[in-house]
Amino acid sequence: MRHQPFVLFLDELNASSHEIQKAFYSLILEQRVGEYRLPAGTIVIGAGNRAKDAAIVKPMPSALINRLVHIHLRTDHRQWLDWAINEGGIHPWVVEYIQLRPDHLWSEPPKHEETFSSPRSWHMLSDALTSFGDKVSDDMLEALAYGLLTPGHAGHFKAYLKQIRQKHTLHAILKGDAFWPTGPEDRDVLYFLAQSFRAHLRKELPDDEGSVRSAHQELAIRAKDMLRDLARISVEIAQSVMSEDESGQRLPAWFLVEVARDLPRLAGRLGKDTKPAKV
């Protein structure tokens, strides 16, 4: 009968003192501590943060580095969402938001003391939302979001919840069943919807013009109409849809060419000071 191997997990390995790290030499390479030997087939796994993560870590000596296989893990929103929906019991608001803004699942830890988004912090926010239930107040939502997430992400999440409660959905606007919110008090909702609109175009429009089909062209036509309507409310927010995002990505070049042709005043103001403009 074949048995599953034993796993010895050394968490926060590189946060330990050098004396403790040195004690791991024989444990990792020879699987023994003094006269005690680990069961045959034991797998030793160490985990730790990187120095650039602004965590409490100590440099590992070369002898310890040389005894380990080093694997850098990265956050994958598809895997996280699959777990969140099927196993994690994550609050629907959090799941739906990450589906809209997968780039907000994780951000680089700041160099100073400030909250930042990670799968762990989203999980904590989910648990808090589940605990409070549907009657959670706006003030508490704001406190939770800004207390757990990257400040920019917290603002977007707050706007997302506001648009849920006010029924301003991007899907309805795309269909023509609703309009961009125009009130000054809804400016955060408008910005969130605009960025979600941008993410939708990035997802649905192909980068290669040769791959454009009739459905893509129909979406492009509707998108230009929506950009025109959006610019009547805020030129700056309309321009943010067409500008580079935080990772340097733009909308497909062929679509931007169409915008420049059909909405020249809007496209021509990219990169310039934004003042009220007639579109």
Give the 3-state secondary structure of residue 125: helix
Tell me the average pLDDT across 141-162: 93
Task: Choose among 221, 193, 217, 197: nearest CA to 205.
Answer: 217
Predicted local distance difference test score (pLDDT) of residue 109: 85
Domains in the chain: boundaries: 7-65, 167-279
Tell me the average pLDDT across 189-208: 91
Task: Return the higher-pLDDT residue of 267 and 80.
Answer: 80
Give the 3-state secondary structure of residue 18: helix
Predicted local distance difference test score (pLDDT) of residue 120: 95
Q: Residues 255, 218: contact at Cβ < 8 Å?
A: no
Predicted local distance difference test score (pLDDT) of residue 233: 95
Q: What is the mean pLDDT of the chain?
A: 87
Residue 244: band (very low, low, confident or very high) from pLDDT cuts 50, 70, 90: confident
CA distance 265 to 262: 9
Q: Residues 77, 102: contact at Cβ < 8 Å?
A: yes
Predicted local distance difference test score (pLDDT) of residue 167: 60
pLDDT at 257 over 90: yes
Tell me the average pLDDT across 200-208: 93
User: Using N-to-C axis directions, what is the helix angle for 151-166 and 92-100, rounded to 10°?
Assistant: 110
Residue 269: band (very low, low, confident or very high) from pLDDT cuts 50, 70, 90: low
Residue 24: band (very low, low, confident or very high) from pLDDT cuts 50, 70, 90: confident
Q: How far apart are the first and last CA of the chain?
A: 75
Predicted local distance difference test score (pLDDT) of residue 166: 67
pLDDT at 273 over 60: no
Task: Return the higher-pLDDT residue of 122 and 187.
Answer: 122
